[in-house]
Amino acid sequence: MSEHAAAASAAKPYVHFALGDVACAMPLAAIAGVRLLGEFELRDARGERVHDGVSLDGHVGVAERQHYAAWDLCRLLGIERASFGCWLLLHVQRGTARVPLALRVGKCLAVHAVEPSGALPASVFRARRRAISAVFDPRPFAHLASSVIGVLCDPAQLFSAEELAESVQRVERFGRRA
């Protein structure tokens, strides 16, 4: 990471959350909202309400009458299943459209600036390598979570074009039913 990129990252506030043994941080500016598990209504492909502990394949969530394609960040990053704590609501740009997405994550830890401490080893998070821009020291959160590594995640790089297209279809399909 260049000195300029490190300085830009450190100056911006990030939302920090737990993913098992990993502390993850996303830019606050990318997050439209944070909802506790009970504040987010999860629906399956038929529109039936489902329990939050299920697989999210084909599911859509509803918060304040807005539909979001639901994804499990642990599954996307290949992290062993962690306990869930909240949903991050965000919009990712796809062409001229903004795709509404909800990421199921662990406990929200804090909102504050991050001091990146280096690049991610090449052997980690191979499937979503572009989404992880740097690592940071998670020790400031030791009293909140037992993370062994901290990663900065760019939601704009997290999803493939196919996953974004699928997300648009989910939300549109659900919207026609409502």
2 pLDDT more than 50: no
What is the reported pLDDT for 4? 44
Average of pLDDT values for 35-47? Answer: 83
Least confident of 33-42, 53-62, 140-149: 53-62
Secondary structure (3-state) at 169: helix
Domains: count for the chain: 1
Token pair of 149, please?
């590594």
Q: How far is CA 133 from the centre of its chain?
A: 14
**Domain extent for 159:** 3-177
Q: What is the pTM of this model?
A: 0.83
Q: What is the pLDDT of residues 87-100, one digit of tens each?
A: 999 999 888 888 99
Give the tokens for residue 164.
């974004």
Q: Average pLDDT of 26-51? A: 86
